[in-house]
Structure formats: structure tokens, C-alpha cells
Amino acid sequence: MKPKEMACQLGLGERTIRRWLASGTFPEARKRRKRLSSFDAFAPFVLKRWHDGERNGLVLWREIRAQGYTGTERSVYRYLETLKRAEVKASVTIHRIQKYSSNIAVWLFVRDPETLDEVEREDLAAFCQASTTLKRAYGLMQDFLAMVHKREGPR
């Protein structure tokens, strides 16, 4: 193909295609620099207020706006979302799920959720919170078991 045809198919400029062909390889993308946002200066204050127990994003936005923040409340909500996710990961009782051997953990995953007692349900929830991969594996396993029990072979 000619460079002009390549450029049309890829939706790029012909000069870009010529430059790539001259270099002999596909150029690696450069890492982007993180630009400072107007929120960055207020993040330590919001974090301190979060640890003090304030969880309302609108209240926090109003407090930092009074200190000179000119951004939207959406930036505050995005920051709080990362704090919430970190809090959930930290709350997982690692020492409790470490008592499980791999065989017992698998048995916990394949059992019918209705037959689990309170402690087993909490431990299963801890496994699913500890890892998104485990959570997905649990969902797939339960879906597969439902398929087998209902004899849905074609599915």
C-alpha cells in the first residue's frame, strides 16, 4: 500500500505514516505528565477532614471553596471515591481469610449461598472485597453451578 492509502484507512496524516515507515517501527507512546489540577492544593485538607469523619462531598466542597478553591464539586467527589475504595480494601479482615486453606476456600465458593452460615457469608464477602478477580471468579462459578443444576447444556 502507498502511504497515502494507509493514512486514509487509518485516519492519520500522510506525514505521520511516512515518519513511521522511515523509522522502521511503530513509535511507542510517551508517558503523559500529570498536570497539576486546581484541586491538588486542597487535597490534604480534604483528606484531614475525611479522617475527622466528614463524608459529605458537598460540605467538603463548600469548605474548600471558602478557602479559595475555584473548581467544581465533581473533582471533590472523584477524590472521595478513591478514598472510599481505599477504605473498603483496608477494612477487609485479612487475618480472618488467611485461615482458609485453598481447598476450604474453593469449597466456600462452590457451595450454595443459601446454605452458608453468618460467619461463612462474611468470609465470602471478605474474599470478594479483597480481590476483584476473586469476586468475578465467584460470580462465574455460581453461574456455572446454576447452569449445571438447571440442566442448561446449550447455555
6-63 pLDDT, tens digit per residue, is: 899 888 899 988 988 888 777 776 667 777 888 888 989 999 998 898 889 999 999 9
**Statement: the pTM of the whole predicted model exceeds 0.85:** no
Are residues 135 and 114 part of one domain?
yes
Q: Are 87 and 118 in contact (CB under 8 A)?
A: no
Distance CA 102, CA 11 (A): 51
CB atoms within 10 A of CB 91: 9
Q: Please check the confidence at residue 90 and state whether its pLDDT lies above 60.
A: no
Are residues 120 and 84 part of one domain?
no
Are residues 103 and 115 part of one domain?
yes
* 102 is a domain residue: yes
CB atoms within 10 A of CB 42: 22
Report which residue type is found at 140: L
Q: Are 108 and 124 in contact (CB under 8 A)?
A: yes
Cell of 63: 469548605
* 12 is a domain residue: no
Are residues 98 and 142 part of one domain?
yes
Q: Please check the confidence at residue 150 and state whether its pLDDT lies above 80.
A: yes
Are residues 107 and 83 part of one domain?
no
Ordered alpha helix ranges (H), 13-131: 14-23, 43-52, 57-66, 73-91, 94-97, 102-110, 118-130
Are residues 133 and 103 part of one domain?
yes
Going by C-alpha positions, the residue among 30, 39, 2 that lies closest to residue 17 is 2
Are residues 105 and 67 part of one domain?
no
- Which domain, by its residues, includes 111? 94-149
* 5 is a domain residue: no
CA distances from residue 97 to 66, 92, 108, 121, 125 in whole angstroms, order as listed: 45, 9, 11, 12, 10
CB within 8 Å of 64: residues ≥ 6 apart = 42, 45, 46, 76
Confidence of residue 91 (pLDDT cuts 50, 70, 90): low
